[in-house]
Amino acid sequence: MLLEISVLIFTLAFVLFSLFSILYLLQLRRTAKSVEDVLLTLNKSLPAILSKTDAIVSNLAEASLILKDQVSNLSRALDQLEDMVDDIIRFEQALKKEIETPVMQAIGTCNAFLSGVRAFLFTLFSRS
């Protein structure tokens, strides 16, 4: 009797296992079919996506080259401007060196002349 009950329990367990396995395999088949549909749709739209991506990449490469040229031109212009400013500074320093001494001497001479005129006028008007 115990053997018959054991065989019955194993049989029921095997039937339940088989039933759930069949349900699992059916669900797996439906999932595989969905994945296949998604892959077919992706394969149909993939060439268009790739061509658009290629167009975008080529546009970006072209824009990058243009930007690189513009930055290079700007760099050259800034270098020329820097050279020009350096030339102006050197000219100013040379001019200052050449002019400063004679101008200071002329200012000293003018101050001496004005002091002499002032002294003359002070003496002239103080005697009156």
Query: What is the rounded CA–CA span in Å between residue 54 and residue 75?
Result: 31
Assigned token pair, 49:
């996506």
Within-domain flag for 94 = yes
pLDDT in tens, 82-122: 999 999 999 988 888 888 888 888 899 999 999 999 998 88
CB atoms within 10 A of CB 20: 10
Within-domain flag for 113 = no
Residue of 102, 127, 26, 108 whose CA lies nearest to 18: 26
- Domain total in the chain: 1
Q: Which residue has the higher pLDDT, 127 or 39?
A: 39
Longest dimension (CA), the chain: 162
Q: Token pair 């396995």 is at which residue?
A: 21
Tell me the whole-structure pTM to 2 decimals: 0.47
In this prediction, residues 5-15 reach a mean pLDDT of 91
3-state secondary structure the chain: CHHHHHHHHHHHHHHHHHHHHHHHHHHHHHHHHHHHHHHHHHHHHHHHHHHHHHHHHHHHHHHHHHHHHHHHHHHHHHHHHHHHHHHHHHHHHHHHHHHHHHHHHHHHHHHHHHHHHHHHHHHHHHHC
Within-domain flag for 119 = no
Q: Does position 128 have pLDDT exceeding 70, yes or no?
A: no
Q: Does position 79 have pLDDT exceeding 80, yes or no?
A: yes
In this prediction, residues 23-30 reach a mean pLDDT of 94
In this prediction, residues 10-38 reach a mean pLDDT of 94
List the domain range (segments joined by +) for residue 37: 1-98
Within-domain flag for 37 = yes
Within-domain flag for 41 = yes
pLDDT in tens, 32-55: 999 999 999 988 988 888 999 999
- pLDDT value of residue 68: 96
Assigned token pair, 99:
């002019």
